[in-house]
Amino acid sequence: MNCGDLKIVEETKKILENYPREKDRLIGVLNDVQERFGYVPKEAQVEISNYLGLSLAEIYGVITFYSRFTLEPKGKYKISVCLGTACFVKGSQAILDRVKERLKIEPGKTTEDGMFSLDDVRCVGACGLAPVFMINDEVYGNATVKQLDEVLDKIIAEEK
């Protein structure tokens, strides 16, 4: 185990100290682990499994069922493109296609430099603003490919 793995194990143990050893605490534990690391690392899953007495398969099932949880680290800028009905009908697929083209990543992936990650989501609850994309917690409504390019250009310029 390398130093990074040991750090994850130790940090996860600290999180688990805040919870009783009850299986129904899994969601809370996963939320805290996700908040701490930005994803749910394998090492954390093993610690949670041992602590709560759940199988790794059960934990994996919960992580993959809820879209809030992720098994891979996300980028500094988390881009979500809504593909719900209202957004899709109003052109969100073109926005998703443009992100994929510009950043050379597929949904669920992160750029090699760790700067951007991309997700396609089913609804962000802003149907009246369709089409919508989000970067981190900022919502961009009535979105266009041009607007996406402008936002990405600004972020990239600020990061240089």
Model confidence at 95, in pLDDT bands (50, 70, 90)? very high
Is a pLDDT exceeding 70 seen at residue 111? Answer: yes
Is a pLDDT exceeding 80 seen at residue 67? Answer: no
Q: What is the reported pTM? A: 0.71
**Second-level CATH architecture of 77-159:** 3-Layer(aba) Sandwich (3.40)
Looking at residue 123, what is its pLDDT? 86
Average pLDDT over residues 137-143: 94
- Which of 3-7, 12-16, 36-40 ranks highest by mean pLDDT? 12-16
Looking at residue 3, what is its pLDDT? 67
pLDDT above 70 coverage of the chain, percent: 98
- Round to whole Å and give the CA distance between 116 and 103: 8
Residue type, 118: L
Average pLDDT over residues 141-152: 97
Model confidence at 1, in pLDDT bands (50, 70, 90)? low
- Domain limits, the chain: 3-65, 77-159
Q: Which residue has better confidence, 149 or 5?
A: 149
